Amino acid sequence: MTFRKTQTLGADAVGIATAARIISAGGLVAFPTETVYGLGADARNDQAVARIFAAKARPQFNPLIVHVADLASARTIGHFGDVALRLAGAFWPGPLTIVVPIQPESGLSKLVTSGLSTVGIRVPENPVAQQILHAFGGPVAAPSANLSGQISPTCAAHVAQGLGGRIDAIVDGGTCDVGLESTIVGTAGDPALLRPGGLPAEAIETCLGLHLLSLGDAPTPTSPGQLASHYAPHSKMRLNAVEKRAGEVLLGFGDAPGADINLSETGDLVAAAAALFSALHKLDTSDAATIAVSPIPEIGLGRAINDRLRRAAAPRP
């Protein structure tokens, strides 16, 4: 692909108008959401969507999440049944992606859905994301704004490190509040948790009054976020570390003596999620061969944190 100059735009009226113009013209703009930075393109433009895969150096055409400003726009793209409507009403705007059957007249590029009959849609809450979506006025396909297989970006500097020179612009809207990708729920069949993320699965189960099927129950895994090695730092990872060994840096949680970074000394999982990717980015630039990580409880956002940590620790392809 041709390498280009990447502009940094402010999250002000000029920056937002420029971002919307670049997306309308088929360009690529990284922008903040409350989960992680997304790499956005016009979801109806085949060429623009293809450039997302090229810029990220993604090996396969995985389906992308479509971002829209509100539920009304979402319903022009996907078919919302009772379950999807209840989830949208309870959790949008916010860190939840809902997979629904695609509308025949959606106008989406087939590359966005990888030719599936379903589409993942999200209404983000971040005000900068909202303003860009309003200014552009159409659906924006946006995976996380990192090179394929690397750690997701939670600030503009992370995006510039990975994608500088490969995309048209980065809108700098500060640090992402949630810090983990959205939770993905499938509603085309029995409601299923396709990816744990920034919205605790328990909140979804309480809202729906049922247990979500989890990936293990699903007949075919459909979310490539499941690629075993994903979100990988360069260093090795050692999980559930109760002490720091020679040659390690320690990513702590709770009471963790000697931690180089502590995700939350008080054991707050929300704070830990927000800090996770930034901490991995930082520790990955140290000289230590291994990043050891304290045990994280498997509840609430801890499920999503552990999911990302297990992928970071998995053997590399």
| Binding stretches for ligand TXA (CB under 6 A) | 33, 35-36, 38, 62-65, 97, 99, 113, 116, 118-120, 122, 142-144, 181-182, 184, 194-195, 222-225
129 binds, among Mg ion, ligand TXA, none (CB under 5 to 8 A by kind): none
**C-alpha distances in Å from residue 189, one per residue of 98, 107, 271:** 12, 23, 33
Q: Give CA–CA dist 44/29, Å, rounded.
A: 15
| Partner in contact with 45, chosen from Mg ion, ligand TXA, none, beta carbon below 5 to 8 Å by kind | none
Q: How far is the CB of 14 from ligand TXA (least distance, A)?
A: 23
Parallel, antiparallel, or unpaired for β 38-42 and 29-31? Answer: antiparallel
Copy the structure tokens of residue 135: 């200014």
Q: Which is nearer to Mg ion, 11 or 232 (CB)?
A: 232
Structure tokens at 279: 């901490």
The encoded tokens of residue 201 equal 């699965």
Q: Which of 97, 130, 144, 183 binds Mg ion (CB under 5 A)?
A: 144
Binding at 35: pick from Mg ion, ligand TXA, none (beta carbon under 5-8 Å per type): ligand TXA
Nearest-approach distance from CB 110 to ligand TXA, in angstroms:
12
The position carrying tokens 């088929």 is 26
Find which of Mg ion, ligand TXA, none residue 170 binds, CB within 5 to 8 Å per kind. Answer: none
Select the binding partner of residue 151 from ligand TXA, Mg ion, none (C-beta < 5 to 8 A, by kind).
none
69 within 8 A of 96, measured Cβ to Cβ: no
Chain length of the chain? 317
Binding mask 216-235 for Mg ion (x = CB under 5 A): --------------------
Strand extents, DSSP E, the chain: 7-10, 29-31, 38-42, 66-67, 96-101, 118-122, 140-141, 169-172, 183-186, 192-195, 213-214, 236-238, 248-252, 261-262, 290-293
Cα(95)–Cα(253) distance, integer angstroms: 23
Least gap, CB of 181 to Mg ion (angstroms) = 6
Question: Whose Cβ is closer to ligand TXA: residue 55's or residue 65's?
Answer: 65
Contact 262, 253 (CB under 8 A): yes
> Please, which residue, 120 or 173, has the CB nearer to ligand TXA?
120
* Rounded distance between C-alpha atoms, residue 122 and residue 98, angstroms: 7
What is the pairing mode between strands 169-172 and 7-10? parallel
131 scored as a contact of Mg ion (CB under 5 A): no
User: CB 315: neighbour CB atoms within 10 A?
Assistant: 7
Which window, 88-96, 144-152, 154-162, 256-264, contacts Mg ion (CB under 5 A)?
Answer: 144-152
| Closer CB to ligand TXA, 120 or 252, in the complex | 120
Residue 130 interacting with Mg ion (CB under 5 A): no
Tell me how far, at minimum, the Cβ of 184 lies from ligand TXA, in Å.
5
Closest approach of ligand TXA to the CB of residue 291, in Å: 22
Find the shortest distance in angstroms from Cβ 43 to Mg ion.
16
Interacting partner of 222 out of Mg ion, ligand TXA, none (Cβ under 5 to 8 A depending on kind): ligand TXA
Provide the binding-site residues for Mg ion, judged by CB under 5 A. 144
